[in-house]
Amino acid sequence: MGVKEILEGGKLGREEIISLLEATGDEKQLLFRKANEIKLQEIGNRVHFRGLVEFSNICGKDCYYCGIRRSNSEVQRYNVTDEQILDAARFAHENGYGSLVLQAGELESPAYTTRIEKLLKEIKKLSKGKLGITLSLGEQVEEVYERWFKAGAHRYLLRIESSNPDLYQRYHPSDTLHDYARRLTSLKTLQRIGYQTGTGVMIGLPFQNSGDLADDLLFMKHFDIDMVGMGPYIEHQHTPLFQYRHELLPIEQRFDLALKMIATLRILMKDINIAAATALQAIDPLGREKAVKVGANIIMPNITPGKYRNDYALYENKPCVDEEPEECKNCLDVRIQLADGEIGYNEWGDSKHYQKRLAGK
């Protein structure tokens, strides 16, 4: 079946998804247009902000793709103070961002759990409950997820990275810290506790083909996920996966594939939140805006205190590391308008999918 027929027809199975992901030229444009149409119909043109605070790059894990992995001794490690995190939260609140994302390298300890719990309560207090909070702090035991939920976090992002267990294993060390089964259990636990649950994958990894990516999208669908953040894989010279750089698609094609993934996911899951990943902007200065035009509805402006931004380098060529949050805001305002979007200031912008899931629809 051709792309046109697939887009007109009903069923979107593995084979059809592969055809969409492999579309080029006019067919690709058809896919992009269809995705945009569906987005406007289902959720409108509003884009919501999640102010991103990357508060520490200290990480206990050693993922083979990630620039801040434990074994990378070239990284200057940092840990933003609680006061600075609260300042960033205040900035987000006062500037109408609606929500905040707390992200960091992955750590598990009782002291860490308590630190986050206290911060959550403080942020709720300083914003009088108005600021929505998303956590992106990796795998934790159930009790920790529960404590953080009770303290005020209501969304959690935990990327599955690759839904194929064999591939997952090739991108991570073989030990209990990096176990696919635990990642999956964690996602299920988050969903059961009541978090709006987000996941995502990297696109254009070595050894990965369009069939794997189609499976990733179907995984999100079967998991009934509420939000997705996915972006192109970008090699980092101080990581083990760097040795496979000659096997990668050229970077422009990885970018293009990421846009096709977003567009296809919008058609597959019409009412979820889809973020325009920062990694897109690392490749193309207008990357996030292009994602908004093909189905994305969430942007995560970086509001990490300036001097630390350069050190949260998961991949190379990270964008906007020199800008202060104020400049970012003005810049984004214009950019989103250019992409025919409108920013939903002071709104949480929860995924419609989640609202329906809660109402049992």
Which residues in this chain contact ligand 5AD in the complex, by CB under 6 A? 65-66, 159, 161, 202, 231, 233-234, 236, 279, 314-315
User: How far apart are the C-alpha atoms of 273 and 291, rounded to whole Å?
Assistant: 13
Rounded to a whole number of angstroms, the minimum distance from the CB of residue 71 to ligand FES is 30
Rounded to a whole number of angstroms, the minimum distance from the CB of residue 300 to ligand 5AD is 11
Binding flags for ligand FES, 259-298, as an x/- string (CB under 6 A): ----------------------------------------
Instruction: Name the segment binding ligand FES (CB under 6 A); options: 155-163, 196-204, 310-318, 327-335.
Output: 327-335
Can residue 323 be called a binding residue for ligand FES (CB under 6 A)? yes
- 149 Cβ contact partners less than 8 Å away, ≥ 6 residues apart: 193, 194, 195
User: How far apart are the C-alpha atoms of 171 and 359, rounded to whole Å?
Assistant: 38
| Burial zone of 25 (CB within 10 Å; 0-12 exposed, 13-18 middle, 19+ buried) | exposed
Rounded to a whole number of angstroms, the minimum distance from the CB of residue 159 to ligand 5AD is 4
In the complex with ligand FES, which residue's Cβ is closer, 201 or 276? Answer: 276
User: How far apart are the C-alpha atoms of 33 and 27, rounded to whole Å?
Assistant: 10
Q: Which among ligand FES, ligand 5AD, none contacts residue 87 (Cβ within 5 to 8 A by kind)?
A: none
Residue selected from 42, 320, 347, 348 as contacting ligand FES according to rule CB under 6 A: 320
Rounded to a whole number of angstroms, the minimum distance from the CB of residue 334 to ligand FES is 9
84: number of Cβ within 10 Å: 15
Pairing of strands 99-104, 46-49: unpaired
Can residue 321 be called a binding residue for ligand FES (CB under 6 A)? no
Rounded to a whole number of angstroms, the minimum distance from the CB of residue 151 to ligand FES is 30
166: number of Cβ within 10 Å: 10
- 111 Cβ contact partners less than 8 Å away, ≥ 6 residues apart: none
Q: Tell me if 62 sits within 8 A of 173, measured CB to CB.
A: yes
Q: Which among ligand FES, ligand 5AD, none contacts residue 331 (Cβ within 5 to 8 A by kind)?
A: ligand FES
Sign of torsion over alpha carbons 233, 237, 240, 246: positive
In the complex with ligand 5AD, which residue's Cβ is closer, 211 or 240? Answer: 240
Q: Which residues bind to ligand FES, rule: CB under 6 A?
A: 301, 320, 323, 327-328, 331-332
